[in-house]
Amino acid sequence: MIRITSGIESYSYHGVSCIRNSVPLSKSDEKEMLFWRTDSLECPQGDVFDNLVNKAHFIKVFNKVLPRLQLIGDETILEMGGGHCWASALIKRHYPNCYVVASDLSPDAVRFLEKYETILGVTIDERWAFNSRHLPFDKGQFDLVFTFAAFHHFGEGNDFGAAIREMMRVLRPAGKLVLLYEPSSPQWLYKWAAQRVNRRRASFSHVIDEDVLVLSKIRRICERLGCRFEAQYFTSYEERSGIVETVYYYTLTQVKLLRRLLPCTVNVVIEKM
């Protein structure tokens, strides 16, 4: 069992551990909480088949990038921003001897995990709900902390420093924070890229604020913390949605220089030294 920081009080909500004395929610966090409570496909009462169909694209991508986690099979792992935390369930299926802690901001989201556990025949070791800028765990608890298409929700005003510091705090020395399948943009295109991803989300029943990583900013945060930073551009085009995005990422695959000049999906590895 993972050790909790002294003074933290927790309670159980449908099998999900929640903390009482968390930091106040931002407006973006409040939208996220509302989304998980009310969206018909994503709420705990949603139909599991419809949910699987909705998640099929992301599940395929996650299986493709799973080797980037470089798991041996006995690590202590924390997933953050997991939503229904199906990625944690897939890891537990592939690596049953890993100690896997699944988490999200919303306890209503994490409740749905039990349906994926049933489908995959696994049991996640711990389930948590907390703010990414205030983790309830003692320092040095995890070999790996990872996110999948979620870290870009963890900042405030495109400042991800608080979330990164917290995640590095709970890692052991030489532990890694891996941010998978994240949207990124060079600084000069950031405003346009952020507006674009938010326009795409506007069709959802409850709009969640989106953001885009500026890798130069993330690198500077890591340098201040004394961590090793590596960004790997992910230009695979087979699983993209729509012909325009498929052609765009095919072009980035062929013309590698464009990856640094234009918005591109990335996988980021940050190692605690």
Residue 203 lies in a domain: yes
pLDDT band at 199 (very low <50, low <70, confident <90, very high): confident
Instruction: State residue 98's pLDDT score.
Output: 98
Residue with tokens 């998640």: 55
pLDDT band at 205 (very low <50, low <70, confident <90, very high): very low
Please provide the average confidence, as pLDDT, over all residues in the chain: 92
Judged against a pLDDT cut of 50, whether residue 220 lies above it is answered with: yes
Using a pLDDT cut of 70, give the percent of the chain over it.
Answer: 96
Higher per-residue pLDDT: 152 or 21: 152
pLDDT band at 203 (very low <50, low <70, confident <90, very high): low
Residue 169 lies in a domain: yes
Instruction: State residue 150's pLDDT score.
Output: 96
How many independent structural domains does the chain possess?
1
Weakest mean pLDDT among 44-53, 168-177, 180-189, 234-243: 44-53
pLDDT band at 214 (very low <50, low <70, confident <90, very high): very high
Residue 157 lies in a domain: yes
Higher per-residue pLDDT: 56 or 76: 76
Nearest one of 43, 75, 35 to 204, comparing CA atoms: 35
Residue 4 lies in a domain: no
pLDDT band at 23 (very low <50, low <70, confident <90, very high): confident
Judged against a pLDDT cut of 80, whether residue 202 lies above it is answered with: no
Residue 92's CATH number: 3.40.50.150
Judged against a pLDDT cut of 90, whether residue 256 lies above it is answered with: yes
How far is the C-alpha of 119 from the C-alpha of 85, rounded, in Å?
13
By the 10 Å C-beta count (0-12 exposed, 13-18 middle, 19+ buried), 271 is classed as middle
Instruction: State residue 204's pLDDT score.
Output: 52
Instruction: State residue 41's pLDDT score.
Output: 74
| C-alpha dihedral sign at 62, 68, 71, 72 | positive
Token pair belonging to 180: 């998978």
How far is the C-alpha of 46 from the C-alpha of 161, rounded, in Å?
34
Instruction: State residue 22's pLDDT score.
Output: 65
Residue 257 lies in a domain: yes
pLDDT band at 207 (very low <50, low <70, confident <90, very high): low
How far is the C-alpha of 30 from the C-alpha of 208, rounded, in Å?
9
Judged against a pLDDT cut of 80, whether residue 133 lies above it is answered with: yes
Domain residue limits at 99: 10-271
Residue 3 lies in a domain: no
pLDDT tens for residues 101-123?
A: 999 999 999 999 999 999 999 99
pLDDT band at 21 (very low <50, low <70, confident <90, very high): low
Mean pLDDT of the region 214-228: 97
Judged against a pLDDT cut of 80, whether residue 40 lies above it is answered with: no
Residue 218 lies in a domain: yes
